[in-house]
Amino acid sequence: MTRQFHIGDILSITGDKLVSPRLIAGVYDILNFMTGDSLYTHQLPRAMRECRPHLLKQHPQLSGIDESTVTEETWCAWLDVCIAEFGETLSVEPLPEHVHEFIDPISELAEKVHPDKIIVL
């Protein structure tokens, strides 16, 4: 089962810049789809590390894209160039089984901050 994602969503995972037109919502969407999880904010970096190599394997043409000119002011124009070169959307497959580690989000957060600082609502 594959799903179409905007190139900006994909490049936000394969690179180091947030260039999704939907901003962080695009990142959550693609990572939740690929992992089959419902990720919390603090889990995004780990999920990105898990997903990045699989996205680049699916779309090797995205390896080595130069993001050096991407700034808050230039990202839209930069993304338009990428759309012209690679297309507006690309098909994405979920991660293979057992690639994503399902970790309770509260337990994972407790590994990063003292449990006394965690407030569960």
Tens-digit pLDDT profile for residues 54-65: 999 999 999 999
What is the structure's pLDDT at 118?
Answer: 57
Report whether 70 contacts 19 (CB < 8 A).
yes
Please list, residue by residue across 72-106, b when 16 or more beta carbons sit within 10 angstroms of its beta carbon and e when fewer do.
eeebeebbeebeeebeeebebebbeeeebeeeebe
Report whether 11 contacts 66 (CB < 8 A).
no
> Closest Cα to residue 82, out of 6, 24, 1?
6
Indicate the pLDDT class of residue 35, thresholds 50, 70 and 90: very high
Provide mean pLDDT across the span 117-121.
64
Count how many residues are written for the chain. 121
> Which of 48-52, 82-86, 103-107 is least confident?
103-107
